[in-house]
Amino acid sequence: MTFELHKGTNIEVLRRMTPNSVDSVVTDGPYGLSREPDMAEVLRHWLAGDDYDHKASGFMGKGWDSFVPGPAVWREVFRVLKPGGHVFAFSGTRTYDMAVLAMRLAGFEIRDQFAWVYGSGMPKSLDIGKAIDKAAGAEREVVGQRDRYLDGRERQNLGDKNQVYGKGLTANGVADVTAPATAEAATWDGWGTAVKPAWEPIVLARKPFPGTVAANVLKHGTGGLNIDACRIPVDPIADAAQLRTMNRSARDGSDGWGMNSTGADAPQVVRAEGRWPANLLHDGSDGVLAHFPTEAGAVTPVRGTEPSAASVGLITGEYARVPGAFHADAGSAARFFYCAKASTAEREAGLDGLSVQLVGRGCAAAAAAAAAGKTDSHGKGGFNRVQQRRNIHPTVKPIAVGRWLQRMITPPGGTTLDIYVGSGSFGASAILEGFNFIGIDIDDDGEGNPLGYLDIARARCEWAEGEVIRERQRREQELREAAARAAQAGLFEEAV
């Protein structure tokens, strides 16, 4: 188990790598959430074999995030990936089409779209009423204050000394409420330009291969998905009714799963080792769980003998209903999907040796305020708090997400690649899963100024290596203790 971190553009580093040397790719690249491009111009460049240079800034004003990775990048990924190797690549909801098209043009086949659902998104919307008043030069009257946490999220410790607050937000976490100053603004009061982001699409692509999947797996170890290693654990309480009627033998004699049935009273609903993984995963937050149904389903079994009204044109007037599986279970349907819960301390784990920095919008004003001993920065952060962190990367993915995705497409002991390594979440996840890891990032702001992301990624990968060692030592200690207990029990039996 090794890891390598390379500084430079991904195309430059990839060109130095051996063809067909990587088993899988899991990456979180630029989403290109900037000014809408001229797609005709984009396609002219892409079809001519060169990349389109988008002159705009992306997420949080970052130039490197102005546009999605083009076909030139994905052609190099295609070259180093083994035949049958899979790619999981995160994308933005409104630029997914461009991101996937670039991969198709590079030669990849698109296998699926996964959805990463979370409850931490913040709306980035323009208040149209306020914008109209601002354009008119009209001053809005403050008519009250509102709690920023009335959106259902849990109120955090607003007295934390590590937090500095932006313009319009007091240390108590409340913001001014203003009234429209013009008739035009009143007409458009409450209108905005965006909804709250709650999910991100992840494309699952595969490098084509000749012959069958079975032959390719035997030759290269790639081409399939590790289903059993990614099954969704069964809840023994909520799924008790389903597990009591479990029967591995389907009616036709096959080893079935899902909704196969051995009879009306013994439905096979879920395998004891876990549910088949789905193309949706979530973070288990309260906001996400609230949107999953919690009803137990049918109150009584549907046996298929009940009459049902016929559709128009049938002579009989009634026809038999199809037997259905009776679940009689309980709990949220969120348990049917993989839950990638991450601790609040995860993003900072292993970074004790790095310095604390201010992150968030309005950092310059926040730094000046902090130096003056003030708790309100009067910066340009709006409702975005400026925080002091060691992991200063703006888009840190949970390690648990990377572990599940990498485990699904990487063979045991294989090598996984991240062409936008960022703060190293997918490096840490690969190491914790026992995979070799290669990470690439430019690690500068476009003007040659270092960002320090590779230092963060290296520290997190080293922390993961330590976690693997500590876990192995813990298991060895448990085995030694179990052996000692067994030896003592044997001596006691001899004495008796």
Q: pLDDT grade, residue 59 (50/70/90)?
A: low
pLDDT at position 351: 81
Residue 217 has pLDDT above 50, yes or no: yes
The whole-number average pLDDT for the span 92-117 is 96
Report field, pTM of the whole predicted structure over 0.85? no
Tell which wins on pLDDT, 446 or 129. 129
Q: 3-120+197-226+392-471 has which fold?
A: Rossmann fold (3.40.50)
CA 22/CA 407 separation, integer angstroms: 14
CA 289/CA 118 separation, integer angstroms: 10
CA 363/CA 394 separation, integer angstroms: 13
Residue 171 has pLDDT above 80, yes or no: no
pLDDT at position 155: 42
For residue 364, which amino acid is it? Answer: A
pLDDT at position 408: 98
Find which of 60-64, 148-152, 229-233 is predicted with most confidence, using mean pLDDT: 229-233
Q: Which residues contact 386 (CB under 8 A, 6 or more apart)?
A: 163, 164, 165, 166, 358, 359, 360, 361, 362, 363, 366, 377, 379
The whole-number average pLDDT for the span 23-36 is 91
pLDDT at position 57: 62
Residue spans per domain, the chain: 3-120+197-226+392-471, 128-193+356-389, 238-272+299-330
Helix (H) or strand (E) holding 351: none
Residue 120 has pLDDT above 90, yes or no: no
- Which of these, 70, 90, 6, lies nearest to 397 by C-alpha position? 90
Q: pLDDT grade, residue 131 (50/70/90)?
A: very high
Whole-number average pLDDT of the chain:
79
Give residue-wise pLDDT tens across range 65-99: 678 999 999 999 999 999 999 999 999 999 999 99
Residue 225 has pLDDT above 80, yes or no: yes
The whole-number average pLDDT for the span 444-465 is 86
Give residue-wise pLDDT tens across range 304-363: 555 565 555 555 555 555 555 555 556 788 988 999 887 778 888 888 888 787 666 545
